[in-house]
Structure 1
Amino acid sequence: MNDAPATPIGRSLSPGELVTVMSHFHRAEIARMAGWRDRIDRTSNWAITVVAAMLSVSLSTASAHHGVLLFAMLLVLLLLWIEARRYRFFDVYRARVRQFERHYFAQIFSPQPDFASDWLLILGESLRAPKFLVSQRVALARRLRRNYIHMMLILLLAWILKLSTPSLIDQGVPAGFVGTLRQTVSAAALGPIPGYVIVVAIAVLYAGLFAAAFLTPGDDGELSFGDVHV
């Protein structure tokens, strides 16, 4: 008994089969994109929770060390790194979905007679050899601009408030601000590390964050089409 001949994988599809394949693939890519989007949101929620908890601990009592806020900065930076990695995966699937929306569905709903694109070839190569579309640096810059720069600024302002308000540092000190900048810098000491070293380190950190957020190019690819982006 002879087996039925195998159907070539690359055979031409009928119009009905092609529509079926496209619809199922589009649905699957949306599910994958939504899954990574959910992971990004979870990381952002963790970062917001960390900021809120550390602010409550640091500013609610004078006995809390200002190092709590420095530790919060480190935790938020760690979550930023994790979220940037997740964003790179999300960006791959988002780009595939947008290829469908821009080149397939948009042409159905609003045809452009002179429209031409090799998007199917690009999509096929992405399936054969998936590659990240943005670097870790660009992903960090995007997530900084969207969310994390605001959280880091809140922590910085809380840290400055903690150092410049004696009633938030020592018990029994009247409310008000410190008399001199030298006192504020001295209050920033962390164990054997002098206060000025901590202040300089924080200044360098935030200068680097602002440079990474606003001087890093990378609003290309899908971000160059329209204004609705994550």
Structure 2
Amino acid sequence: MTTPPEDFDPESPAEREVAGEAATDRSDFLSLMGHAYRGELGRTTAWRTRIDRTTNWAVVLTATLLTWAFSGDSRPHYVLLVGMGMMVVFLGIEARRYRIYDVWRSRVRLFEENVFANALDPEGAEQPNWRELLSEDLREPTIKTPTREAIARRLRRVYAPLLSVLLAAWVIRLTVFGDPSKGPVGTAAVGGVPGTAVLVIVGLFYVGVVVLVLWPASRQAKGEFGEESDTDTWR
């Protein structure tokens, strides 16, 4: 480990502002950008792994509940309702992770669009003020993706299909494996809650899911693969 020179004073104004010299030196600046890009890419990868881990939990839970629910005729149907509730919990966790992940991903895309893409094919930077944008975001990091968008995107990608599978399994449980003397509505009862109320609650829940999935909104998430109609914006 090297020791700093004896005359090195980290509290002096000149040393505190030493990084500012890189702004006027091309070789130092490009070297700094390379290190910064690797750091932001590492953060992006770490948070992407956290999102995938939550998705894996949701898939494993769904498979486990389906296996258990149809392993015997006496299995209660409300276990699948519990599974739907757990999907909501996982969705909330994943949406929060997705919003934080987008902070690092947006920085990575800023580097790629304005530094590396321009180095490979110098047609000009996508954002002429990208250095100012990056500096502001490093000084004051902000969440760029609204909560509703994060929830809607994770629903479309993962949780809407899983919730649909649980809903189909629940309906089959009530109709095919339910008590014929009670009918599907009577079988849907949970404890002291009548079956009609349970059906209404579940129906309203899934209406909300459909609204979130289909409700049109401008995309704020930055740099993720999407449809051609999606537009990337920096906020």
Same fold flag (TM > 0.5)? yes
Change in Cα spacing, 1:115 to 1:133, as seen in structure 2 (3 Å) is closer
CA drift at 1:116 = 5.2
Which residue does 1:28 correspond to in 2?
39
Distance of 1:23 and 1:128 partners within structure 2: 19
Which residue does 2:195 correspond to in 1?
195
Change in Cα spacing, 1:133 to 1:20, as seen in structure 2 (3 Å) is same
Which residue does 1:97 correspond to in 2?
108
Deviations 1:172-207, CA, capped at 9 Å, x for gaps: xxxxxx69xx81111101111110100010010000
Q: Which runs of 5+ in 2 are unaligned?
A: 1-5, 231-235
Query: Residue 150 in 1 paired to residue 154 in 2?
Result: no
2:21 aligned residue (9, 12, 15): 12
1:1-230 matches, cutoff 5 A: 3-4=7-8, 6-7=14-15, 8-13=17-22, 14-113=25-124, 117-165=128-176, 168-169=177-178, 183-222=183-222, 227=227
Distance of 2:69 and 2:138 partners within structure 1: 49
In the superposition, the TM-score normalised over structure 2's length comes to 0.85
The answer to whether the 8 Å contact 2:95/2:151 transfers is yes
Structure number with higher relative contact order (C-alpha < 8 Å, ≥ 6 residues apart): 1
CA drift at 1:221 = 4.8
Change in Cα spacing, 1:115 to 1:150, as seen in structure 2 (3 Å) is closer
The answer to whether the 8 Å contact 1:185/1:199 transfers is yes
Distance of 1:29 and 1:21 partners within structure 2: 12
Change in Cα spacing, 1:115 to 1:122, as seen in structure 2 (3 Å) is closer
* Percent sequence identity over aligned pairs: 35
Structure 1 stretch displaced more, 201-210 or 103-112: 103-112
CA drift at 1:67 = 0.4
The alignment covers a number of residue pairs equal to 217
Change in Cα spacing, 1:226 to 1:213, as seen in structure 2 (3 Å) is closer
The answer to whether the 8 Å contact 1:63/1:169 transfers is no
Counterpart amino acid of 1:104?
A: V
The answer to whether the 8 Å contact 1:51/1:151 transfers is yes
Q: Secondary structure at the match of 1:63?
A: coil
Q: Which runs of 5+ in 1 are unaligned?
A: 171-177
Counterpart amino acid of 1:3?
A: D
Structure 1 stretch displaced more, 219-228 or 151-160: 219-228
Counterpart amino acid of 1:57?
A: W
Q: Secondary structure at the match of 2:95?
A: helix
Distance of 1:144 and 1:26 partners within structure 2: 30
Question: RMSD value over aligned CA atoms?
Answer: 2.3
Distance of 1:224 and 1:29 partners within structure 2: 15
Change in Cα spacing, 1:78 to 1:12, as seen in structure 2 (3 Å) is same
